[in-house]
Structure 1
Amino acid sequence: MVTAIATILAACSGGNSAPSPTASQPAANEETPAPTEAAEEPKEVNLNGREIRISNWWDATPASDSEADELARERIKAVEEKYNVKISYVNTEYGVTSEKISSTVLANDPFAEIVRVPDGDIWGLMQGGFLTPLDDYLKNTKIAPEVIDSMRFGGDKIYGLMGWYTPNDNGMFYNKRIFKEAGIKDPQQLMEEDNWNWNTMLDAAKKLTVDTNGDGKMDQYGLSGAYYVFHEMLIPSNGGKLYDEATQKAAFDSPQAMEALNFLYSLYNEHKVIKANEGNDWEDPSKYFSEGNIAMYPGGLWEVEGRIQGKLKDDWGYVYMPKGPQATAYYDAVNSTESFVIPKGVKDADIVVKIWEELQDFDNWKQNHRLWLETILPDEASIANAMDDNGKVIRVTDARAGGLGVKNILGSVTEKFVKGEVTPSTGVAQVIDSAQAGIQKVLRGEPDKKE
């Protein structure tokens, strides 16, 4: 158990992964149940007022006056009445979520019934025996079969719950004022001309990295971001992957991926269009953007409410990531297997699964997603981009890159070469074999052991 806990703690990736939905859109289970002599009446369930705690790394209580939150509250009320329970949302810090699962399971008192877990931590929890297998509880679910399969995380048992994949959850935020004052086309205009690509992004970034007050120092930059966010978004935008599911191998040494890494290296070291972070690679980039000194910032839609909305005073927009030279379309990578799990020892796990499912709105997810986007995005063009109304986005599945340790290994390289300490080719060559060995070790179910 001690080894398992150490594995979990070692796997934690801090704030390096943006929480984002995974897998695919919901689809009803199309399997035809075996005929029975008489259909059984569903049994009435009464959990006697029990609290069902749902943990995220933010307060997920639907508290706003938006239509989406109102509908969510209606679902909560219906579930509470049907099962005689009280739904509550627990705000658990990202980096301690897995440790809290393991410690409370060992104490025979799980801290929540349903827990969102960072993708890099699921393997340690599975191997340590801290999670409840869900196979028997998902036989008649509305969760799409391909989603269910992805929640096995390469093993035999299903350990995760995740309802659907929403399109284009990761893209590029941009400051309209900065582009307008410079008299150059912004990303939305370029996209409408089918000319939004790495070259046009670089051209804009160079023109918008300027010394605005004449003191000899750049105080406005074309881009800001964390190095690991950049590589996770640039590689798929060129048609590449961090991990290849078909071959079960690390793929960040492919030609498409290396082209992306070399481009990222040039943004930092040759063109110098990315504002350097001042000690916090996760918090600084969005802060710079919200202060109005950055033209473009790659990130996820989930960041808007806490990092942009109400902070950035300028007009802004949201577009796809630009196309790489090898791309034939805009690509949106699903590179996280974060999911909801049920800790071992949670009572009535079968009912808890049904409660979670009934809190979701599988049938109207698109409508609900649009309602949410209308509360966070500034204009119709941005909403259309986030919904992929024009069908321009191709989904790239790279979901297990985090859980298999690939993200962290590649991050150890990009962290160095963005500072010019090592070139992409040298850095990748140094770690690709260890990445592959680590993948196979995890797929075999062997926990890491501290030297």
Structure 2
Amino acid sequence: MLKKMMSKPMMMFVLFATLMMLLSACSGTNDKPADPVAQPAEVETNTTPVQEEEEDKEEAVPAPDLDGRVIRISHWWDATPKGDSESDELARERIQMVEEKYNVKIKYLNTEYWSTSEKLSSSVLANEPFAEIVRVPDGFIWGLMQSGFLTPLDDYLQDTRVEQDVVNAMRFGGDKVYGLESWYTPNDSGMFYNKRIFKEAGLKDPQQLMDEDNWNWDTMLDAAKKLTVDRNGDGKMDQYGLAGAHYVLSEMLVASNGGKLYDEQTGTVTFDSPESMEALNFLHGLYNEHKVVKANGGNDWEDPAKFFGEGTIAMYPGGLWEIEGRILDKMKDEWGYVYMPKGPQAESYYEPFGQATAYVIPKGVKDADVIVKIWEDLQDFDNWQDNRRLSLENILPDEASIANAMNDNGQVQRLFGGRFGGLGIKDQLDKVTEKFIKGEITPSTGVAQVIGPAQAAVKKVLSGEQPEKK
């Protein structure tokens, strides 16, 4: 009866199980029974430790041993950490870690700024690169790329800790990655303002306007006009809304309107674009129509910061790097730092990104893949933002200014893909702005005169020639 009730597959399973039990009993010993046949569930459960063990083995793979080789890193300054600051101590620890990990010796070279590019190219031609890693000064990378003196790095950055937008920026408009950069600080330039001047005039200051999402060209101009006054009644303006160098203001205003002076992807000079021309016309109006910019006394670079320190101007566009040498200990009034105001075409706050500097690996350097890893291990990826905040706390006057400089709210953006350093573009544009701030020429006429020469200057550099000394 039971046999009839069983299906044929069931009968086969019973016979198979019985046979396995008999074989198991026969193969065992009197001391220890044979191991039972593993069940599917047990096999699945046991895979996790195996996978973890394999991962541990992968992590334990030793770094390449470069047999005591000296890794030379060139800057146009001595980058050896020598001080007793916390950052220098951490840098020394990273160097020691790298030297032990790869069996190398890190050596920093101090190469003269204008000699760096020539030294790199001549040493590559001699098949003896003078350094494994070279910090290339502003603008020199274009010619070195085009002339084939650099190592393409795409294959060595597949698992990099560098953010992808930074990696892409290191293509400099081309197909290959030729540069190395750890990160880009979010807001290196903006607007310094005098709190006392705004308060005495009963005006909302730039920080208050920014908090209201109302910090733009119109509100900046309105404040500048109201703060350009004759305070002592002698018939002459002795306080102005703004001060600056025309060549700095032009660059910052173009960027704040979402414009670029140059398009890396197309190799085209673009300071005649609608966004750029709107900014140049606005700059022309600040000087000639509204007359809210204090004239410099002979030194376009030094005078604006000096005026700000003296408390005779309300707003000064500039860079964070200026604070320690040009504002701290010279500014008696309370002050703050905000983004550049938004232009009419801007969807966000923008700052210019014109310099073309980068670390490169010269062509012919051996073990370039390992050199990239060594460079990465020398970077402080984990702490750079904390270190930046600590340094800003030492130089900025209040929490709002620090938050702006750190871009805590994420509102300011850098205009990647528009670097013009070393291409000769700015030299041509500055000839125009120098004339139209004096009312000698209109922006449209001036730009029409120099757009061709600017494009020719770009073509010259991209053909392999290097920037001229200034």
TM-score range, shorter chain: 0.7 to 0.9
Which amino acid in 1 is paired with 2:353? V
Matched, 1:203 2:222: yes
Amino acid at match of 2:212: E
Q: Is the 8 A contact 1:97 1:117 kept in 2?
A: yes
2:75 counterpart letter in structure 1: S
2:61 corresponding residue in structure 1: 41
1:55 aligns to what? Answer: 75
RMSD: 3.7
> Gapped runs of 5+ residues in structure 2?
1-56
Matches within 5 A, 1:182-221: 182-212=201-231, 217-221=236-240
Distance change >3 Å, CA 127–CA 165, structure 1 → 2: same
CA contact (8 A) 1:374 1:383 kept: yes
For 1:180, the aligned partner's letter is K
> Which residue does 2:404 correspond to in 1?
385
Alignment of 1:327-346 (within 5 A): 327-343=346-362
- Corresponding residue SS for 1:421: coil
Pairing 1:226–2:214 present: no
Q: What SS does the corresponding residue of 1:415 show, helix, strand or coil?
A: helix
1:237 aligns with 2:256: yes
Partner of 2:191: 172
Counterpart selection for 1:297 from 311, 316, 323:
316
| Contact 2:70 2:107 (C-alpha < 8 Å) held by counterparts | no
Cα distance change of structure 1 residues 71 and 152 upon mapping to structure 2, 3 Å threshold = same
Q: CA deviation at 1:381?
A: 0.4
Q: One-letter code of the match for 1:55? A: H
Q: Distance in 1 between matches of 2:116 and 2:338?
A: 32
CA distance in 2, matches of 1:275, 1:210: 11
Q: Is 1:158 aligned with 2:143?
A: no
Could you tell me which amino acid in structure 2 is paired with residue 184 of structure 1? L
308-317 or 57-66, which deviates more = 57-66
Give the drift of 1:410: 2.1
Name the SS for the 1:295 alignment partner.
strand
1:347-396 deviation per Cα after TM superposition (whole angstroms, max 9, x unaligned): 66544432321122334443343333223322110111122222322443
Residue 432 of structure 2 is aligned to residue 429 of structure 1: no
> Paired residue for 2:295?
276
Aligned residues: percent identity? 69
Which deviations, in whole Å up to 9, do the C-alpha atoms of 1:260-280 show, x marking residues without a partner?
Answer: 101101112233322333444
Quick one: structure 1 residues 346 and 207, their matched pair in 2 at CA, closer, same or farther if it must change by over 3 Å? Answer: farther
List aligned pairs for 1:240-259, cutoff 5 A: 240-245=259-264, 247-259=266-278
Distance of 1:58 and 1:186 partners within structure 2: 41
Shift in Å at residue 446 of structure 1? 5.6
Write the distance in 2 (CA, Å) between the matches of 1:285 and 1:91. 32
Change in CA separation of 1:192 and 1:147 when aligned onto 2, cut-off 3 Å: closer
How far off its partner does 1:321 sit?
Answer: 0.6
Please identify, of 424-433 and 90-99, the stretch whose mean Cα deviation from structure 2 is larger.
90-99
Tell whether 2:330 aligns with 1:311: yes
3-state SS of the aligned residue for 1:271?
coil
Structure-2 change in CA distance of 1:123 and 1:281 (3 Å): farther
- Compare relative contact order (CA 8 Å, sep 6+) and give the higher one, 1 or 2: 1
Aligned to 1:373, the other structure's residue is in SS state helix
Q: Judge which range, 41-50 or 316-325, deviates more.
A: 41-50
- Distance in 1 between residues matched to 2:286 and 2:236, nearest whole Å: 18
Distance 1:343 1:279, change over 3 A: farther
Q: Is the contact made by 2:143 and 2:461 (CA closer than 8 Å) also made in structure 1?
A: no
2:175 is equivalent to residue 122 of structure 1: no
Question: Deviations along 1:9-55, whole A, 9 cap, x unmatched?
Answer: xxxxxxxxxxxxxxxxxxxxxxxxxxxxx969334535648464441
Which amino acid is the alignment partner of residue 244 of structure 2?
G
Q: Which range moved further: 324-333 or 430-439? A: 430-439
- Do the aligned residues in 2 keep the contact of 1:413 with 1:424 (CA within 8 Å)? yes
SS in structure 1 of the partner of residue 337 of structure 2: strand
CA distance in 2, matches of 1:313, 1:287: 12
Q: Which runs of 5+ in 1 are unaligned?
A: 1-37
Deviations 1:239-277 (A, max 9, x none): 222224565432222222111101101112233322333
| SS at 1:119 equivalent | coil
Could you tell me whether the CA contact under 8 Å between 1:237 and 1:330 is conserved in 2? Answer: yes
User: Which has more radius of gyration?
Assistant: 2
1:152–1:389 Cα change, 3 Å: closer
Distance 2:136 2:467 in 1: 22
CA-CA distance at 1:322 after TM superposition: 0.6
- Tell me by how many angstroms 1:112 deviates: 5.5
Structure 1 residues 356 and 215: alpha-carbon distance in aligned structure 2, compared to 1, 3 A threshold: farther
Q: Is the 8 A contact 1:317 1:382 kept in 2?
A: yes
For 2:191, what is the secondary structure of its paired residue?
strand
TM normalised by structure 2 equals: 0.74
1:309 partner amino acid: L
- How far, CA to CA, are the matches of 1:385 and 1:92 in structure 2? 35
- Secondary structure of 1:312's match? coil
Between the aligned partners of 1:308 and 1:85, the Cα distance in structure 2 is: 42
Deviation of 1:327 (Å): 2.5
SS in 1 for 2:161: coil
- What secondary structure does 1:261 align onto? helix
Partner of 1:411: 430
Pick aligned residue for 2:157 from 102, 121, 138: 138
- Following TM superposition, by how much is the alpha carbon of 1:323 offset from its aligned partner in structure 2, in angstroms? 1.3
